[in-house]
Amino acid sequence: MADTAWQQLTATFSRLAHFSHLSAIAGWDMFTMMPPGGSRAHSAALAELSVLQHNILTAPQVGEWLNAAEQEDLDEDQRANLREMRRQYQQAVLLPATLVEAKSLAGSRCEHAWRSQRPANDWQGFAENFKDVVRLSREEAALRAAANGTSCYDALLDLYEPDMTSQRLDALFSDLSHWLPDLLQRVAEKQSRNTLIAPQGPFSIEQQRDLGLLVMRKLGFDFDAGRLDVSAHPFCGGVPQDVRITTRYDETDLFSALLGVIHETGHARYEQNLPRAVAGQPVALARSTAIHESQSLFFEMQLARSAPFLAQLLPEIIARFGQQPAFEYHNYIAWNQQVAPGFIRIDADEVSYPAHVILRYDIERMLINGDIEVDDIPALWDEKMQHWLGISTAGNYRDGCMQDIHWTDGSFGYFPSYTLGAMYAAQLFQSARTQLPRLDEQIANGEFSALFDWLQRNIWQHGSRYSTSELIVRACGEDLNPRYFRQHLENRYL
């Protein structure tokens, strides 16, 4: 008896998942272990793998199976999986394999060169490779936009955040723009009355790593299904059964690497708890990048920067690095909750962080829609940094427009996920606190099981079964509401 269309589809997507696993681990290797001389061959192998996956997904019979499966007797979960299969197919079939290969090669080349160009502040060298990435990304965006009847930028945004549009983002970010500058100023005035003592290093990398591993264990990271390494830019990669996270260490700064580890552990816990019964199927994937970022920011900002969490971590810090004036309780809490606008997004406090995201969103949208060119970016970046944070990046490309890795491989449309994620995280934490009345007490005691069980029930176990809106409504009783983010910032910092 011949397999049904549904059976053919699940077998095909399982096969694609195996190749995605290999691609993810090869990507991790490229960022962490690959010797410089391996870049060209590594890039060619990854490009070949991306073309292979593309050809499997866009084969004519896949479209036929999708249509036939619609008529088969499927349950509700299978229908959700079929919806996600069709979404992946429709996205892929718009692109020729030659473009998929060219974009992969250009991205690998740009990222590899960026590693040495950023420390050297070499914008001209970076721009040369980056122009290829932008050209190919615009080509992709134009094909997607023509098929979907959207702007070029919205066509790429939809890859990361299904059903989100720049029109809706503009409304959300416009609201934030109205109150955030005033909040920043009020917090700065309030905190200016405090004289804080800075932690005095050096803080050995070995001890920092040991502390990071301890915190990962406290936060429930499964070391049988993942590991911690070092890379130029922290990330979480791999697959649910094998999650790879990275950080970067600085012996003069104790908390940057630690908070980076906690951020990536939030991503990892989500990945490790996605539905295993349908592993390898699209419905078992994370719902969206904003939901993914909501989990990392839930861990890093909502949880780890809270006074109860910081308090229960303090003895572990003193045990490794010794007692010093900076680790006096009130100074230590205030140091980790200080608002100090700076150059680097991933080190930003949560009040100034949205400014970094809106800046990048404005620039990448203009870039993809053809309103500006690559050579315009440094001046625009400087202008927007001065507008938002009062900081100039003129001539400082390393700490300005070259600081992030996302654009090197053409991940345009990703950046809004960070502030959307912060909004979702605040709303989710408020819902958890309402439903778990002893939450602050539990956190102070290092008891996280009730909180993680709540996340498991409401977010992690569902994968992509529901739309983003439905997922949030089911967890919180209402769709995304940015007032919870504002309320959280005002409560913590004012």
Q: 38-83: per-residue pLDDT in tens?
A: 999 999 999 999 999 999 999 999 999 999 999 999 999 999 999 9
* pLDDT computed for residue 157 by the predictor: 98
Of the candidates 334, 328, 273, 335, the one whose C-alpha atom is nearest the C-alpha of residue 299 is 273
Helix ranges, 192-306 (H): 205-218, 254-272, 289-297
Spatial distance between the Cα atoms of 263 and 256, rounded to a whole number of angstroms? 11
Of the candidates 250, 247, 275, 277, the one whose C-alpha atom is nearest the C-alpha of residue 263 is 247
Tally of CB atoms within 10 A around 480 = 20
Spatial distance between the Cα atoms of 361 and 433, rounded to a whole number of angstroms? 31
Q: 375-422: per-residue pLDDT in tens?
A: 999 999 999 999 999 999 999 999 999 999 999 999 999 999 999 999
* Contacts of 421 by beta carbon, 8 Å cutoff, 6+ apart: 289, 290, 291, 292, 293, 294, 295, 296, 297
Spatial distance between the Cα atoms of 26 and 47, rounded to a whole number of angstroms? 11
12 within a domain of the structure (yes/no): yes
236-239 β-sheet, strand order:
226-230, 242-247, 236-239
Sign of CA dihedral 232, 463, 428, 421: positive
Tally of CB atoms within 10 A around 3 = 11
- 167-176: Cβ within 8 A, 24+ apart: 169/361, 169/416, 169/420, 172/419, 172/420, 172/423, 172/480, 172/482, 173/354, 173/358, 173/361, 173/419, 175/482, 176/354, 176/358, 176/419, 176/482, 176/485, 176/486
- Residue 112 CA from chain centroid, whole number: 20
Q: What is the mean pLDDT of residues 313-342?
A: 97
Tally of CB atoms within 10 A around 186 = 15
Token output for 284: 């078992």
* pLDDT computed for residue 54 by the predictor: 97
Give the range of the structural domain holding residue 80, as residue numbers without chain letter.
Answer: 5-149
DSSP string, 159-190: HHSTT--HHHHHHHHHHHHHHHHHHHHHHHHH
The rounded percent of the chain whose pLDDT value lies above 90 is 98
Spatial distance between the Cα atoms of 156 and 160, rounded to a whole number of angstroms? 7
* Contacts of 439 by beta carbon, 8 Å cutoff, 6+ apart: 432, 433, 450, 451
Average pLDDT, the chain: 97
Spatial distance between the Cα atoms of 392 and 200, rounded to a whole number of angstroms? 28
Q: 148-162: per-residue pLDDT in tens?
A: 999 999 999 999 999
* pLDDT computed for residue 1 by the predictor: 65
191 within a domain of the structure (yes/no): no
Q: Work out whether strand 242-247 and strand 226-230 pair parallel, antiparallel, or are unpaired.
A: parallel
88 within a domain of the structure (yes/no): yes
Predicted confidence (pLDDT) at residue 218 exceeds the cutoff of 80: yes
Spatial distance between the Cα atoms of 299 and 308, rounded to a whole number of angstroms? 13
Of the candidates 210, 188, 473, the one whose C-alpha atom is nearest the C-alpha of residue 320 is 210
Of the candidates 422, 354, 408, 419, the one whose C-alpha atom is nearest the C-alpha of residue 384 is 354
Residue type, 340: A
373 within a domain of the structure (yes/no): no
* pLDDT computed for residue 2 by the predictor: 72
* Contacts of 485 by beta carbon, 8 Å cutoff, 6+ apart: 176, 422, 423, 426, 427
186 within a domain of the structure (yes/no): no
Of the candidates 424, 176, 165, 159, the one whose C-alpha atom is nearest the C-alpha of residue 291 is 424
> pTM score, two decimals?
0.96
Query: What are φ and ψ of residue 250, in 5° steps?
Result: -140, 120
Q: What is the mean pLDDT of residues 283-295?
A: 98
Q: Is residue 226 within a helix (H) or strand (E), and if so which, with residue range?
A: strand 226-230
Phi/psi zone of residue 163: left (φ > 0), alpha (ψ -120 to 50 degrees), beta? left
Phi/psi zone of residue 220: left (φ > 0), alpha (ψ -120 to 50 degrees), beta? left
Burial of 459 (0-12, 13-18, 19+ CB in 10 A): buried
379 within a domain of the structure (yes/no): no
Active site residues: 264
According to DSSP, residue 282 is labeled G
Q: CB of 326 within 8 A of CB of 200?
A: yes
Q: What is the mean pLDDT of residues 219-245?
A: 96
* pLDDT computed for residue 466 by the predictor: 98
Phi/psi zone of residue 121: left (φ > 0), alpha (ψ -120 to 50 degrees), beta? left
113 within a domain of the structure (yes/no): yes
Q: Is residue 472 within a helix (H) or strand (E), and if so which, with residue range?
A: helix 468-476
Query: What are φ and ψ of residue 193, in 5° steps?
Result: -80, -10
Q: 186-197: per-residue pLDDT in tens?
A: 999 999 998 999
Q: CB of 180 within 8 A of CB of 354?
A: yes
Q: Work out whether strand 236-239 and strand 242-247 pair parallel, antiparallel, or are unpaired.
A: antiparallel
45 within a domain of the structure (yes/no): yes
Of the candidates 370, 424, 420, the one whose C-alpha atom is nearest the C-alpha of residue 168 is 420
Token output for 15: 């096969």
Number of domains composing the chain: 1
Spatial distance between the Cα atoms of 407 and 411, rounded to a whole number of angstroms? 5
The rounded percent of the chain whose pLDDT value lies above 70 is 100
Predicted confidence (pLDDT) at residue 273 exceeds the cutoff of 70: yes
Burial of 6 (0-12, 13-18, 19+ CB in 10 A): buried
Bridge partners of residue 237, in order along the sequence: 244
Q: What is the mean pLDDT of residues 111-130?
A: 97
* pLDDT computed for residue 232 by the predictor: 87
According to DSSP, residue 200 is labeled P
